[in-house]
């Protein structure tokens, strides 16, 4: 996959990212303010995905733009 990445800087964006990640990874709820001060949240926006399908032949790939 090819993608662009951007570090989240707005407090509202980082708060939302932490809330979403905490739902999936329960240990994140226990992070202290000190831990979070040293944490960067990054948004990854997919641009292209390489699909591999050996049924169509060895190494067959197709690029799909997202």
Beta bridge partners of 3: 46
Determine the pLDDT at residue 16.
Answer: 94
SS3 of the chain: helix, strand, coil, percent, to 5: 40, 35, 25
Determine the pLDDT at residue 35.
Answer: 87
Query: Mean pLDDT for the chain?
Result: 93
Determine the pLDDT at residue 7.
Answer: 97
Does residue 17 register a pLDDT over 90? yes
23-52: pLDDT as tens digits:
999 998 888 889 888 899 999 999 999 999
Structural contact between residues 66 and 48, judged by C-beta atoms closer than 8 angstroms: yes
Beta bridge partners of 2: 48
Structural contact between residues 29 and 16, judged by C-beta atoms closer than 8 angstroms: no
């Amino acid at each position: 996959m090819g993608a662009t990445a951007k570090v989240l800087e707005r407090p509202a964006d980082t708060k939302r990212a932490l809330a979403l990640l905490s739902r999936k990874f329960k240990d994140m709820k226990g992070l202290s303010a000190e831990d979070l001060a040293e944490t960067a949240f990054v948004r990854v926006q997919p641009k292209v995905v390489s699909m591999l399908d050996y049924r169509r032949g060895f190494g067959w790939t197709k690029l799909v733009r997202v």
